[in-house]
Amino acid sequence: MFKGSYHPKAFLTRKRNVSRGLAARTEILSCLEEDSSTASKLSKATGSSYSSVLYHLHSMEDEHIVAREGRRPYMWKLTGMGQKTLNEI
């Protein structure tokens, strides 16, 4: 697990940002930075359950950090919204 170095976009305003959720969202976001992907591929890449990945994707979708494209199975991608690192500014 991560100890303090979380992805800036993993912090959500409408949810409590507990360390387990931040770590899971950080892993998902790091996979999505490489390439857009489906929830099942993200589940395999992160080692989290499919339902956990979907839960976090939907939470991030509510805050416009990620978006889904196409038809089922949806492709998830980053939108460019959310907190940015100093390198992105």
pLDDT in tens, 30-81: 999 999 999 999 999 999 999 999 999 999 999 999 999 999 999 999 998 7
Residue 85 has pLDDT above 60, yes or no: yes
Q: How many angstroms separate the CA atoms of 35 and 46, rounded?
A: 14
Where do we find the tokens 């494209």? 69
Q: How many angstroms separate the CA atoms of 58 and 40, rounded?
A: 14
Neighbour tally for 8: CB within 10 Å:
13
Overall fold of domain 18-78: Arc Repressor Mutant, subunit A (1.10.10)
Which residues, in sequence order, are CB contacts of 24 under 8 Å at separation 6+?
Answer: 46, 48, 52, 53, 56
List phi, psi (to 5°) of 39.
-65, -35
